[in-house]
Chains A and B, each alone.
Chain A
Amino acid sequence: MKYMDEFRDPATAKKLVEEIKRLAPIARGQREMPLQIMEFCGGHTHTLFKYGIASMLPADIEMVHGPGCPVCVLPMARVDDCVAIAEQPSVIFTTFGDAMRVPGTRKSLLQAKADGCDVRMVYSPMDALAIARKNPEREVVFFALGFETTMPSTALTLLQAYREGLKNFSLFCNHITTPATMRAILTDPDLRLDGFLAPGHVSMVIGAHPYDFVTRDYRKPLVITGFEPLDILQALWMLVKQFAEGRCEVENQYARIVPEAGNVAGLKAIAEVYETREHSEFRGLGNIGDAGVQIRDDYAAYDAEKKFGLPIDFAQGAVGYDPEHLKCADVLRGVMKPWECPAFAKTCNPQNPLGALMVSPEGSCAAYYAYGKLAKRS
């Protein structure tokens, strides 16, 4: 714990908050709106709320919660596919915990489990592999989702299964890449963001340079940061300083962990196993070209999509399962605050989520529901 406590020191926090308060009015200048800073990643949203950071910031800064929660951008059709696989009698369907509650058009995986499907929660894809070894007569499928953070571990798991010659293991691949998703936000005509906090663990894998286009093509400063509360405060201070000094750069607050060039071994595993998918549907963002990955043909035997001949609307880029009156799309793009959605805390709540943003504790709607009453009040 000692190591962590270093990054939670209240005295240092206070100093940083004072510096942010001093610089923020200069950074904001004459404009009416506060500076809109998007923390792209749900992990950051979680830290902001958990430590009450939102309540410490001056009114010159407004945090906008981004789409960086792989559970939140999962389209309903994809959940339907999961359920369809899980319903095959021979299948043990394995997944991370928070993906279980995401609603599909028919049901969530949690409901499928209650209806008798063998759906199991695991803590890593290697756990799923262990289940496959123990149950040679069953088909074990792992629901591989997440940004570049989780990609190396699913790739390495697949390679391990390949080396062992396991015949009853496959990945249902739903990985997506961070820079492409960010580009989709930046090209949105409704865009009203001024800068970004980028996720440190993604950069642990991909490094800092994939974000160069953000400053070069879109003139939005970006700071890569870790997940401890002091990391985030320091990154905010660095960002505000950039505005105040009229700079626009990719900066790396998380240099203690993030190498400029990323993680070579991780990137190699990713390149070995995955290739870019032409179309990927994101909930709320629609189709984003080249943003998702699929399993290469060399490893087709481990691709659940091929193994189970899935309904292929997803691969062809069908959009539009989300009902109109749900404002998930606007919240995801930072155009609307969660509580402005007519369903928020009424028909849509964590017990009965209508949108995925209410499912994962990192989703901005769930985060506001759980922690945000104070933030909303002020």
Chain B
Amino acid sequence: MNFSGSITLAHGSGGRVMHQLVDELIRSTFSNPLLEEGEDQARIPLAGLGAQGDRLAFTTDSYVVTPLEFPGGNIGTLAINGTVNDLAVGGAKPLYLSCGFIIEEGLSLETFARILQSMRLAADEAGVQIVTGDTKVVQRGGADKLFINTAGVGVIPAGFNPSAGGAQVGDVVIINGWLGDHGAAILNARGDLALEADIESDCAPLNALVEAMFAACSDIHCLRDATRGGLATVLNEFAERSGVDMVLKEDTLPIRTPVRGMCEILGLDPLYLANEGKLVAVVPAEAAQTVLAAMQRIPAGYHACIIGAVVEGEGHVILQTAFGGERIVDMLPGEQLPRIC
């Protein structure tokens, strides 16, 4: 297929041009046996699923990021990894994804092809297949260049049951690495800050990491990926649902210097910045070292560390500042808006 030119309304018309786009570009990039069957739905044999666990996990998410491409990833890698991670942190082994595109007339074919290619690579890395999909083209102004929806199914092995309400007094809180890289990279990539920071998104699949954690300890109490709303939001959910307090030690929080610097300048709090390859786990103290060691053997967990503990309380997240004081880290009311002075 010729990649020069851009998407037009004809690409969504249902006619020959659309078939060409779907067959020669999308289907050929994602190619796998289930997709090749070319039916209106993917037909997945139950036997294979049943052999891998005792529950099916099913999730969906839509991706609308601006800009489409940024250091460390693009909307396509987000769409794959985001859905893979939503399955993984529920304890599921992610297997099959669907993929819906809403494309604004005018998107360059070359950009679209590049995003598809990185989706394929991300799917391969996570070990999942894109088995069904849909493409719509809307008029200029009807969407912001490209929106992607992905849904995914996976299978949960018997006996693995992390939940937001599972934290117990005495547990420890673990994070798998640097906080806020994705949020900072996106802010930076929008280019209206005139900051010269070198920050890449942490966009990555977490299923291999979760598998290793489960193998090290089948009794992981809470597990979530810390995407929009960041670490603070996830911990607030854990604390509220479990009816306990979570105490974080500020000087153990892994935050890169450029991210810290950007937050200082803009008056933002890195605890609320979005991540796309970070999970938060609450595990029994006696298992903490085993789990950490297992995490640190996997690339997505190289920088895993303990950042806090679960104590008795009424559902608050408390930060012990490096300075010697304490403060409550609440959920954010809305978007973080930079301060003026």
Contact = CB atoms under 8 A, between A and B. Distances in A.
B interface, how many residues as a size bin? 20 to 34
A17 B323 CA distance: 11
Interface stretch (A49-57, A78-86, A156-164, A312-320): A49-57
Nearest to B330: A370
Max chain A CB contacts within 10 Å: which of B318, B321, B323, B333?
A: B323
A8 B321 CA distance: 10
B322 interface: yes
Interface string B216-243: 0000000000000000000000000000
Interface in A106-143: 121-123, 127
Given A1-B260, A123-B193, A149 B341 contact: yes
B324 interface: yes
Interface string A332-360: 00000000000000000111000000001
Max chain A CB contacts within 10 Å: which of B322, B325, B338, B339?
A: B325
A55 B318 CA distance: 12
B193 A55 contact: no
Given A43-B341, A149-B341, A55 B333 contact: no
5 contacts: A51-B325, A71-B340, A97-B340, A101-B337, A121-B338
A96 B340 CA distance: 6
Interface string A200-230: 0100000000000000000000000000010
Given A361-B267, A373-B316, A50 B337 contact: no
Contact of B327 (A41, A49, A127, A146): A49
Interface string B304-341: 00000000000010111111111110100110011111
A96 B338 CA distance: 8
A56 B330 CA distance: 20
A14 B322 CA distance: 11
Given A52-B319, A369-B330, A374-B318, A97 B324 contact: no
B27 to A, nearest CB: 39
B196 interface: no
Max chain A CB contacts within 10 Å: which of B192, B261, B340?
A: B340
A17 B341 contact: no
A42 B339 CA distance: 10
B124 interface: no
A51 B337 contact: no
A51 B267 contact: no
A201 B324 contact: no
A10 interface: yes
Nearest to B264: A4
A247 B257 CA distance: 43
A156 to B, nearest CB: 16
Given A1-B260, A123-B192, A373-B316, A56 B341 contact: no
Interface residues of A, number: 50
Contact of A53 (B325, B330, B341): B325
Contact of B324 (A17, A43, A350): A17
Given A17-B324, A52-B326, A150 B341 contact: yes
Given A51-B327, A96-B338, 12 more contacts: A1-B261, A52-B325, A53-B325, A98-B337, A100-B337, A123-B194, A150-B341, A360-B339, A360-B340, A369-B330, A371-B327, A371-B328
Nearest to A98: B337
A10 B327 CA distance: 15
A169 interface: no
Contacts of A362: 339, 341
A13 B341 contact: no
B337 A97 contact: yes
A49 B318 CA distance: 12
Main secondary structure of the interface of B (DSSP, over half): loop
A70 interface: yes
Nearest to A366: B333
Contacts of A349: 333
Max chain B CB contacts within 10 Å: which of A14, A146, A361?
A: A361
A99 B264 CA distance: 19
B257 A1 contact: yes
Question: 8 shortest A-B CB distances, which residue pairs?
Answer: A52-B325, A350-B333, A97-B337, A96-B340, A97-B338, A51-B323, A52-B327, A52-B326
Contact of B321 (A4, A52, A71, A98): A52
A127 B192 contact: yes
Given A123-B193, A145-B340, A146-B341, A53 B334 contact: no
A101 B322 CA distance: 31
Given A123-B192, A372-B328, A373-B328, A351 B340 contact: no
Max chain B CB contacts within 10 Å: which of A14, A17, A96?
A: A96
B340 A146 contact: yes
Interface in A61-113: 70-71, 96-101
A147 interface: yes
Nearest to B195: A123
Nearest to B251: A10
A327 interface: no
A52 B340 contact: no
Interface string A297-323: 000000000000000000000000000
Contacts of A100: 337
B93 to A, nearest CB: 38
Contacts of B326: 52, 55, 374
A147 B328 contact: no
A256 B260 CA distance: 24
Nearest to B266: A123
A184 B191 CA distance: 42
Contacts of B318: 374
Contacts of B334: 101, 350-351
B325 A54 contact: yes
A283 interface: no
Contacts of A41: 341
Interface string B239-260: 0000000000000000001001
Contacts of B193: 123
